[in-house]
Structure 1
Amino acid sequence: MIDQATIDRILDAAQIVDVVSEFVTLRKRGVNYIGLCPFHNEKTPSFSVSPSKGVCKCFSCGKGGNVIHFIMEHEQLSYYEALKWLARKYNIEIKERELTNEEKQANSLRESLFVVNQFASEYFQDILYNHIDGQRIGMTYLRGRGFRDDIIKKFQLGYSTESRDALAKAALQKGYKEDFLIKTGLCYKKDDGTLRDRFWGRVIFPVHTISGKVVAFGGRVLSAATKNVQMKYVNSPESEIYHKSKELYGIYFAKQAIVRQDRCFLVEGYTDVISMHQSGIENVVASSGTALTSDQIRLIHRFTNNITVLYDGDGAGIKASIRGIDMLLEEGMNVKVCLLPDGDDPDSFARKHNATDYQAYINAHEVDFIRFKTNLLLEEAGKDPIKRAGLISSIVKSISVIPDAIVRSVYIRECSQLLQMEEKILVEATAKLIEQARETKFKEEQRKREREQRNAFSPAGETRQSQPAGTLPPSDASTPVPPPPTPEDIPASVVSPAPQSEEPDNYTSFIPTTGNEQSVFYAKEEELIRMLIRHGEKIMCYVEDENGEQHPLTVIECIASSLKEDELQFHDALHRRVLKEAEAHLHDEHFTAERYFIAHPDPQVSKLAVDMISERYQLSKYHSKGQKIVTDEERLYELIPRLLVDFKLSIVDEEMKHTLQALTDPAIANDPVRCAEIMKRYKELHETQSLMAQNAGDRVVLKP
């Protein structure tokens, strides 16, 4: 585990302008620096770097954070790996302490599976290079496919001998547990209890995560070495660390090239990726023979909007892939398709051509997906009117999922010409499908809200009746707390866990969980969070006790105590979490809220902190007449109480409105008991609102 002192040294040494400049060309603008955002394609710079605050933020796509989170996002590393990356850059020695038993238990399973996979990967490579069968069979096959030794080593290819338990024996001899060998899928148990290798007699293709960990394997059978085996490829089964729908073969080796060229090639198999790398085209990934999934698309979309799908020359399986490409369109990707010459696949074509010729062929023959699909289905439909009608419906459906209205309009015009149909008919059909999709989505959201309202007064919440007036009811599943990051994203071994209160997050409300951004109470809540993150530890005023002595009151203490006084909470779960942690750490030595939350290992928290302190435009230091601007920090004693009053009045008002709306739910209206409970609650809220309005001007504080 890296202790907090070492993390602080890394943060102190890592200059954000210095780090970002390695990846983005920056130019000075006022006190900040700007450049083109590395996380999305743009022509006008909107990526701002603040050296004074140590943060960066794109005001277009919204991505940003401190120097650690920039490296995490750009290099697709975990929090722990990003810290090590920065430590290496600035020559900072990392001293890691022994994990506690609890921390070991939390990480043991996933980490053990990764360790076992890494051992297996090294074992297969050793067999390929140093075993007689590895050289005679495995290496002969790979070199026969035209793979150079440097490419074989780069992709960590290996070989498993014909012995059906060689890996199992080697792993057990090294001390690896049988249970982990089975859970990774490297081995399986037969009915008689014996342990057998899954990949015996095969060339091995390790599958890497986006950060480079070996997460699974693919094994290709070699007919000369393996008899009576019908499956050409065997792949690792799903496990705690491997979900096939979320992984892309080659993404670890391709991610930087994809960003650099703002383009990704999508192929089908392992050898397609490897051969294209060898020919000089590195921005390529494979779906490994599975139907494309939303998770895989989002993985590509992290790096580029542009994707070209490469198909074998005979076009086999193209129609089966159309649904996956429709999903690409729905994600807002710019999709193109390229058919290779008859008899060639991406692997064989790459072995015949260098990168320049390959790229030239693609550029000359790729077409946008809508035109490709139209030509493909037109050829199949021929002159059959029923098939042509089905063709038109299929194409219109593809166009309707495209989120950009301008792109839809261009495609409709092209299809009108290709199909020789009136553009108006296609426009109307597309609009109808879009409206149907909107209605479906609206109904789903409405059903979700209704479920939340019904759950608000579930039997588990009967204790609400005994709550004092003015209390917003405790939490249930209608306002979930964001789950903590998974160990792969932010391992527990990175930092000591923040002290947390034993009390659960017991907040619930009839106010919808999402969609409140335009509400008055939400704006006031955000302002309070902004003040807390920017000035939380600062003394905003002094208060007098019963003996007339004055005591300092920080912004954090003022916000927390004021909300507790009226038994209210922030509506947003993340805001509640921030306030809770701020209270827990307020009296830590050298605690500053801004630094603590910007450097927070949870990306949700750090992104919120960056958003709260980022300003797109900087004011000059003085007014035009030379008068000094009064900053927020200089008038905290005035701002915080006013924001608190405004927030509490507005959230109670909003709660009253949604409480009345709940009475329109037939399930509640037909239940006299629940109906009475809600009416009682509404009355209590109304009384609380009246008291807060009366007391709004009664609280007096002394200026510091």
Structure 2
Amino acid sequence: MRIDPETVERIKQTAAVADVIGDYVTVKKKGANYWACCPFHGEKTPSFSISPSKGIYKCFGCGKAGDSVRFIMDIEGLGYGEALRHLAKKYGIDIQEEEMTDDQLLRQNERESLLIILEYAKEFFKKQLTDSDEGKSIALPYFKERGFSDATIQAFDLGYSPEGWDVFLKTALKHGFSQDIIEKAGLVTNKNDEGKVYDRFRNRVIFPIHSVAGKVIAFGARILKSDAKNQAKYLNSPETVVYHKSATLYGIAQAKNEIRQKDVCYLVEGYTDVISLHQAGIKNVVASSGTSLTIEQIKLIGRFTNHVTVLYDGDSAGIKAALRGMDLILEEGLQVNLVVFPEGQDPDSFVRSIGSEAFIEYIQKEARDVISFQANLFMKEAGDDPFKKSELIKEMVQSISKIPDAIQRSLFIQKTSQLMRLEEDVLLAEMNKLHLKKVQQKSMPTLSPQNEAELQALFEPGPEVDAPVEVQNLAYYQELECMRLLVNYGHLEISPEKAPGVSLLQYLIHELEEVHFQTPLFKGIMDTCRSEFARGVIPEPSFYLHHPEEEVQRFAIDASSDKHVLSTVWRDRHEIKVKKDEELLEDFAYKNILRLRKVYNDQHIKDVMERMDQYVGDPNEMNDLLLEFIHLKEIQKNISQELGTVIEK
């Protein structure tokens, strides 16, 4: 299905790039642009630039670039059409679409199809909870007993899967979904001994799991029957194209804005912990969904804040799990505190027993940084045993060694020295041992046969590495400069005084009428420009910057992005005027075309010389080659003189 161009343009104009990206990472304004840490690769120093005036972003670290639509495509893994629909829904823009047929559903991109069926399943489970007799008599009372209000149930899209073996499956098939996509979404189980499939989550309350953007990507479910034997109490969706458990946090969609505003993320273990705290007004909370905390989950938190407070149960297993997670958080450069609740309590039960205000006061009073917490815990464990105490101190130093910031490491060493009554030098020596060991491990990997070959190649000469594909033709850089001028300034007059009304695009088309670019991307852009000009349209930069083809859009952004901006001191203090590109268009375009023609001419000369070297045949034809060679050398000489370069003999 195709969205009409006017609607596409309205979506792009409404979906401000800084606002869209701000839903995923913390952005800070610097001058005319915004900057953030790139969400596509790990970095501590922001290199991700957002230009509101151009409606684009570019990471100077990993090279990712695009507009608001491209960002949603990359961050959510959506197709172009689905990304447009996502933004249209977010900003309340109506899109008129025809009802999808079975054939259209089958042709959908698998990822988009999975998101569609998962959204359908969410609505099905919600309806079963509130409208069916089974849901109202069995599932709804469970949520009410947990203290969840109607508003909370709605906010987290809670639902119920009925007891029947294949109620959902039959309903989804009836509404046109294929069994293949239902199975790929993890909504039904594998075939049983009788060759049938049945609903995965039957007779369970449903907790939809959302992506950062709020898309349903999976489900968690809890069984309600107390006498159920040989059945897991909790059940999650399997890994799918859209759901990777290790990279997902429950509640992130509902919590992201509050995390950014409060500049701290509360990390808990379970679904009900998140929901209860959210209902109590503590909305900056997410859960690791019962799994051990992963690097991917920590990086997801790091998009919105550098401060994490881990809230875990007061039992020994919960404390140990928290400590393992804290080292990972420290290693990613985040600042982490830990709060442990009284034995027998978890965040859900505790907030319901004392209320939100007292809960916040408890967190503020009991929160401990990693070193203070470990010192308090270890002193109790070690007692007066010097051997135990020594081992526990080593664990503390190991945690400190994970911190990437040197100043923070130094301060924590000082604190440990005071708490444990040890000289700082002793602790620093232990930490240096850990760093040395890590360096040795990195520099001396286990060598497989393949690694041995790679190592040998470092010391033995081998064949030269081929140049990148895009620069294998000698004209690449001249073609690149031509396209840079075209994308940024094609709509401007090349010389308002000498040729009023003549655009740079018109000039380039006229001068390059018989030129065929050797780089496929540039040839495609030039062909598009010729077609647009023939229709009486002169594309402006936005035409390329928001182009639906990723390769064209990425090139346009690269061609228009500067990481460094010329200081105003040159103009304001020293009164030095530096001309901008648009003031020198005539000179730039003229010389670029000359250089382009020269490199093509040089290629032609090389080709003629090779033909002459290899020629065997009629002398008259050889004379033709000589005349062609002389003509080409004359062109080379004229161009070199015009450019002011060395005249070749």
Query: Under a length normalisation based on structure 1, what TM-score does the superposition of the two structures give?
Result: 0.66
| Structure 2, unpaired ranges of 5+ | 40-45, 496-505, 600-635, 645-649
Structure 1 partner of 2:301: 300
SS of equivalent to 1:219: strand
Structure 1 residues 48 and 419: CA distance shift in structure 2, 3 A: same
Distance in 1 between residues matched to 2:185 and 2:466, nearest whole Å: 45
Q: Which amino acid aligns with 1:194?
A: K
Distance in 2 between residues matched to 1:21 and 1:333, nearest whole Å: 19
1:473 aligns with 2:416: no
Distance in 2 between residues matched to 1:132 and 1:25, nearest whole Å: 45
SS of equivalent to 2:130: helix
Distance apart, 1:265 and its partner CA:
0.7
Structure 2 partner of 1:287: 288
Contact 2:23–2:257, Cα closer than 8 Å, also in 1: no
Q: Which amino acid aligns with 1:599?
A: H
SS of equivalent to 2:109: helix
Distance in 2 between residues matched to 1:583 and 1:443, nearest whole Å: 51
Distance apart, 1:141 and its partner CA:
1.3
Q: Which amino acid aligns with 2:346?
A: D
Q: Which amino acid aligns with 1:128?
A: L
1:142 aligns with 2:143: yes
Distance in 1 between residues matched to 2:433 and 2:169, nearest whole Å: 59
Question: Which structure 2 residues correspond to residues 161-172 of structure 1 after superposition, within 5 A?
Answer: 161-172=162-173
Contact 1:77–1:211, Cα closer than 8 Å, also in 2: no
Distance apart, 1:417 and its partner CA:
1.6
Contact 2:37–2:303, Cα closer than 8 Å, also in 1: no
Distance in 1 between residues matched to 2:486 and 2:433, nearest whole Å: 47
Distance apart, 1:423 and its partner CA:
0.8
Contact 2:594–2:643, Cα closer than 8 Å, also in 1: no
Structure 1 residues 529 and 387: CA distance shift in structure 2, 3 A: farther
Contact 1:58–1:64, Cα closer than 8 Å, also in 2: yes
Contact 1:258–1:303, Cα closer than 8 Å, also in 2: yes
Deviates more, 1:310-319 or 1:598-607: 598-607
| Structure 1, unpaired ranges of 5+ | 465-471, 476-504, 509-522, 542-550, 570-575, 650-693
Distance in 2 between residues matched to 1:529 and 1:436, nearest whole Å: 51
Question: Which structure 2 residues correspond to residues 578-589 of structure 1 after superposition, within 5 A?
Answer: 582-583=525-526, 585-589=528-532
Q: 1:609 aligns with which of 558, 569, 572?
A: 558
Query: Under a length normalisation based on structure 2, what TM-score does the superposition of the two structures give?
Result: 0.71
Q: 1:631 aligns with which of 571, 576, 580?
A: 580
SS of equivalent to 1:587: helix
Distance in 1 between residues matched to 2:556 and 2:436, nearest whole Å: 34
Deviations along 1:97-125, whole A, 9 cap, x unmatched? Answer: 99999997674322332222223222222
Structure 1 residues 121 and 273: CA distance shift in structure 2, 3 A: same
Structure 2 partner of 1:274: 275
Q: 1:598 aligns with which of 540, 545, 550?
A: 545
SS of equivalent to 2:117: helix
Q: Which amino acid aligns with 1:123?
A: F
1:332 aligns with 2:325: no
Structure 1 residues 300 and 581: CA distance shift in structure 2, 3 A: farther
Distance in 2 between residues matched to 1:25 and 1:295, nearest whole Å: 17
Distance in 1 between residues matched to 2:108 and 2:167, nearest whole Å: 28
Structure 1 residues 532 and 434: CA distance shift in structure 2, 3 A: farther
Structure 1 partner of 2:398: 397
Distance apart, 1:138 and its partner CA:
0.9
1:698 aligns with 2:640: yes
Structure 1 residues 103 and 317: CA distance shift in structure 2, 3 A: same
Deviations along 1:219-240, whole A, 9 cap, x unmatched? Answer: 111234x522442111111122
Deviations along 1:390-424, whole A, 9 cap, x unmatched? Answer: 32332222211211111111111111122222111
Structure 1 residues 58 and 192: CA distance shift in structure 2, 3 A: closer
1:238 aligns with 2:217: no
Deviations along 1:14-66, whole A, 9 cap, x unmatched? Answer: 7779999999999999xx657897999xxxx9999866545578999999975
Identity among equivalent pairs (%): 40
1:407 aligns with 2:408: yes
Contact 2:246–2:294, Cα closer than 8 Å, also in 1: yes
Q: Which amino acid aligns with 2:214?
A: G
Deviates more, 1:207-216 or 1:161-170: 161-170
Structure 2 partner of 1:370: 371
Distance apart, 1:342 and its partner CA:
2.5
Distance apart, 1:206 and its partner CA:
1.1
Deviations along 1:532-553, whole A, 9 cap, x unmatched? Answer: 7544788989xxxxxxxxx954
Contact 2:331–2:404, Cα closer than 8 Å, also in 1: yes
Distance in 2 between residues matched to 1:242 and 1:129, nearest whole Å: 27
Bigger radius of gyration among the two: 2
Distance apart, 1:130 and its partner CA:
2.1
Q: Which is bigger in relative contact order (C-alpha 8 A, separation at least 6)?
A: 1
Q: Which amino acid aligns with 1:255?
A: K
Distance apart, 1:614 and its partner CA:
6.0
Aligned length: 576
Question: Which structure 2 residues correspond to residues 123-142 of structure 1 after superposition, within 5 A?
Answer: 123-142=124-143
Q: Which amino acid aligns with 1:203?
A: V
Distance apart, 1:335 and its partner CA:
0.8
Distance apart, 1:588 and its partner CA:
4.7
Distance apart, 1:143 and its partner CA:
0.8
Structure 2 partner of 1:199: 201
Question: Which structure 2 residues correspond to residues 532-681 of structure 1 after superposition, within 5 A?
Answer: 534-535=488-489, 552-553=507-508, 582-583=525-526, 585-589=528-532, 590=537, 592=539, 594-600=541-547, 602=550, 605=554, 608-609=557-558, 612-613=561-562, 616=565, 619=568, 629-635=578-584
SS of equivalent to 1:698: helix
Distance apart, 1:314 and its partner CA:
2.8
Contact 2:139–2:160, Cα closer than 8 Å, also in 1: yes
Distance in 1 between residues matched to 2:540 and 2:101, nearest whole Å: 27
Structure 2 partner of 1:518: none
Deviations along 1:477-536, whole A, 9 cap, x unmatched? Answer: xxxxxxxxxxxxxxxxxxxxxxxxxxxx5889xxxxxxxxxxxxxx99999997675447
Structure 1 residues 306 and 275: CA distance shift in structure 2, 3 A: same
